[in-house]
Each structure stands twice: as C-alpha cells, then as structure tokens.
Amino acid sequence: MITRSWTAALGLVALVATLPPVLAQDPAPKSETAPKPAVSPAPQVRTRDLVGTFGGQRVPYKVTMGDTILSNDDGKAGAVIVTTSYVKTPVDPTRPVFFLYNGGPGSGTVWLQMGAFGPKRVAIPSDAKDDGAPPYPLLDNPDSLLDVADLVFIDPPGTGFSYLTQGTDPKKYYGARQDGRAVAQVIRRWLNDNGRWSSPKFLGGESYGTFRTAVVADELEGSTYNDVGLNGLVLISTILDYSGRDPSPGNELAYVGTLPNMAAAAFYHGKAKAPSVEAIVEEARKFAIGPYASALLKGAELPADERAAVRKEMARLTGLSETYLEQADLRVTDRRFYKELLRDRGLTIGRLDARYTGKDYDSAGETPDEDPSFYGIDAGYTAAINVWARETLGYRTDREYQSIGREPGRHWDMRLEGGGRGLYVNVAPLIGQAMRQNAGLRLFNAQGWYDFATPFFGAEYSLKRTGIPQERITWKYYDAGHMMYVRDEDRAKLSADIRAFIRAR
C-alpha cells in the first residue's frame, strides 16, 4: 500500500495457545552520578508448529516471529526489524524461499501477510463494501503459497513493530537506498541463521515495495564480494518511475499514464461502454499514447479541430463531459476524477480501488474528503495483525503496530545516491541491470485495473524500456484495485499465478 489518504498509500494463521514471553534483562538501577550506558535491546522470538492446507496440499510448518537487530557504525543497536517466517517442516535447505514486504514508505507487511499469502487471512467483504465494525474473523487461507515456498514477511524500519532505537539518526534508515540496504541485510542474516544459501530466492513487494525490490535486488546482486543470486522478482501494484505520478504543470506524462485507469473506472461504474474492461483499456492505451499524448505535447499549437476530436474521444472513454474536459484543458488529475466521475450520483470513487464508492460531506468540492477504498478495509487488517501477533504468537510489546507509519515518510530521502533533489526518481534501470547480469532472473508483474495509486499503464511504461529483457517478464491483470487480493476471485487467481511463476524455475 502506498499511503493513507492522499499522501500515504500498499498476513496470518490459526489461533493457538501462546508461549511464555521472552524477558529482557532488568536494567541496572539508574546512577545519580554517572550517565547510564546504552543497552542493546534483547531480541524477542516466538515460534509455533502448525499445519494447514495450501494449494490443495497438507503442509506442516513452523511460524517464527522474531527481532533482527541492526547495528550502527559504533556497534550499538540502531534498528530492530521484526520478521515473521513460515517454514515447512522438516526443513528443506533447497526449497524456494520468498521474502515479502509492503510499501509506503512506512507500510507494514500486514496487507500481504493477513490479506494474500499467509496461512490465515482476515475476513472482509469481497465486493468493494466497507468492512464495518468488529469482529473481523481470521480464516484459513488455502491461497497461501506455503505449498511451493517458505515465506518470510519483513517489516522494514519504522513499519509494523519494527523501530529505530533511541538516538538513532532517522537518515540512516529512512531513505530509498538506506531502506533497501537494511532489508538486504535482514535477508542475508536470515539466510545465514537458517542455512538457506542454496535455496532458490524470490523477492516480493507491493506498491512502494516494488520500488524497494529494485533497490534490494541491487544491494543483493550488485555486491561484488557478497553476491546473493536471485531467481525471481514479484512486483504487485508497481511503481518504479515517479515521473508519471506528479501532475505538475508541464509534466504531461502524468495525464497520459492515468487515462487508461479512468477508462477502466468509467466502464466499471457504467459511465463508458465497451464489451469488457480489457477492451476499453486497450482502446484507452492506444488513444493515450497516440492522439492524446500528441495533443498534450503540442500545447498552445494544438489545432482547434484536433483538440475537438481528442476532447470527444476522451469524453467517451472517461465518462466525463466535454465541458468539464475543456475547462480542465484536457488535463484531469486523478484526484479531480475521483470526485467528478459520479458527482451526479453524489458519490466519490476510491484511489486504491476505484470500485469502492463513498459519500463526502457535500458534493460541491473539487476532490474527495478521503479514500473510501482505504477506510473501507483498514480496521479489519489492523485488528487481524494484532490478534495474530499478540494473542496467537504471544509477541510482547507496548508499541502500536504501524500499518501505515508516519515517521518514515516525514524523513524519507528518495535519492538513490548523493546530490540532486531526487525528483522523478526511476529504479526500473536497476531491474534491467539485475536481469542482464543474471540470466536466470525472471520478473512477475501484477496490476489491478482499478488502481490509481500505481496505474497499470505506468508499470507498463516503466518495464518496457530499453535494457529490460522482455522475454523474462510475466504480466498479469486483475479485476480489482491496488490490493487485488481483497476480492476473493482475484486472491485465488493471484496465488495461482505466482505459484506457477515459482514452479516455472
């Protein structure tokens, strides 16, 4: 998930008795004459042996929720990173292992863990309706991937229960390169501690997590003296190039990239006609990259007759009136679209998932009050991860689980290297480099038709650039939004698609 509201946006298992808590040493009494030396936190580890049926197979497995402590340059603890791993028993050191994380930056792995691939999932409506009030049951998840791979869910610094220790400079961890380096370090540590260097290795991220995957892959495979070979990258709701997400005056790519999403949403809500969502999306792709892009690039020199033709076709595809499109100078931001598409019905549509609708305080505004596709699901996921971690696994902490943490975003540095302001950062070339230097590395890309947070056309644009081996990319699309797995049919389809991708190695 990327963020909460407009700036934030991208679990699991059966309830059993908890283990007794792991206790840290009691600190020594405070000295009144000398400052107390820094004390590293004692790592906490919880385990359970469980059994479930996934992909039609009965799988015994061990779940381990524990802390990995990363040190600062002075040797003192700088960050405590919480991972939750699910490993088939008995352990097979050559079995695939799949490392997963969500996005944000600042998002915990609750979404993928409790919604898609963990042995348990939270029960929320599948038909784009609000999740309402508790309780939110935890259900067996036959779509978990435990039948084909061991799973390791990583909460990066500042997400979930992971945190920076007191006195740690946020700049050390809260940034594109810093975060990727920390996650890569956690992966190396897990491989060491579990004896899994011979296992096929897959990285999987959602939303900003796809951006993170490019950086982590670069950190793992780009290290001359400590190279970690990878078998596959799984990108879910992809954002690699931020140039397509900034509708600043003069940046026409942002409008080109979201127009196919507008057509998909208009079709879903009956504002545009086509045989199928796939059909209207294909029409919108061709129009966006052709006549529409050409018209925007011509700017003030756009002839009146060409402008009229583009405006008419744009109205047909997006469901917006020609009058509104003219007033917007043919450039409609996604936020305006959420409010305008169903204004006549007094409804707004979702950013993360345009299938969701909401009612604002009034219908006169330019943009929605909130994203109905986020507040429609967040409570259920938050409850589920706390029940699983605290009550089932017995993980002991006074910290609140950060499903969408604010701290990372407050300090985040999007620059990959020093210098510059980091605008329009693009990590797709890192994926191309990793694939060119590793002939066995393949990529799986999953997109929802109704996702405005990370539009599918933007992912296609990013990954179809020169230098990225196209024959090793698998493309899959789903009839939902950013978190396509909230829809039951798409969760099953996504699971089957990734299962086939892992087996295809």
Q: Which two tokens mark 421?
A: 């302001």
Contacts of 275 (CB under 8 A, 6+ apart): none
Q: What confidence tens digit (pLDDT) does each residue in 123-173 have?
A: 888 887 877 788 888 999 999 999 999 999 999 999 999 999 999 999 999
Hey, is 146 helix, strand or coil? coil
Other C-beta atoms closer than 10 Å to the C-beta of 76 total 15
| Parallel, antiparallel or unpaired: strands 97-101 and 150-155 | parallel
Tell me the whole-structure pTM to 2 decimals: 0.89
Question: CATH assignment of 45-243+379-503, given 3.40.800.10, 3.40.1190.20, 2.40.160.10, 3.40.50.1820?
Answer: 3.40.50.1820
- Which residue in this structure is represented by tokens 């009691």? 26
Separation between Cα atoms, residue 273 and residue 478, nearest integer Å:
19
Query: Average pLDDT in the 2-26 region?
Result: 33
Q: What confidence tens digit (pLDDT) does each residue in 241-300 have?
A: 988 888 888 889 999 999 999 999 999 999 999 999 999 999 999 999 999 999 999 999
Separation between Cα atoms, residue 158 and residue 423, nearest integer Å:
23
Terminus-to-terminus CA distance in the chain, angstroms?
Answer: 28
- Which residue in this structure is represented by tokens 């879910």? 236
| Residue 422: band (very low, low, confident or very high) from pLDDT cuts 50, 70, 90 | low
Identify the weakest region by mean pLDDT among 2-11, 435-444, 461-470.
2-11
pLDDT at 119: 96
Q: Is the pLDDT at 77 greater than 90, yes or no?
A: no
What's the distance, CA 70 to chain centroid?
23
* Helix or strand run (H / E) with residue 375: helix 372-375
Residue ranges of the chain that CATH labels 3.40.50.1820: 45-243+379-503
| Residue 7: band (very low, low, confident or very high) from pLDDT cuts 50, 70, 90 | very low
Mean pLDDT of the chain: 89
Q: What is the CA radius of gyration of the chain?
A: 23
Q: Could you tell me if residue 485 is left (phi over 0), alpha (psi between -120 and 50 degrees) or otherwise beta?
A: alpha
Q: What confidence tens digit (pLDDT) does each residue in 219-239 have?
A: 999 865 678 999 999 999 999
Q: What percent of the chain has pLDDT over 70?
A: 90
Other C-beta atoms closer than 10 Å to the C-beta of 243 total 17
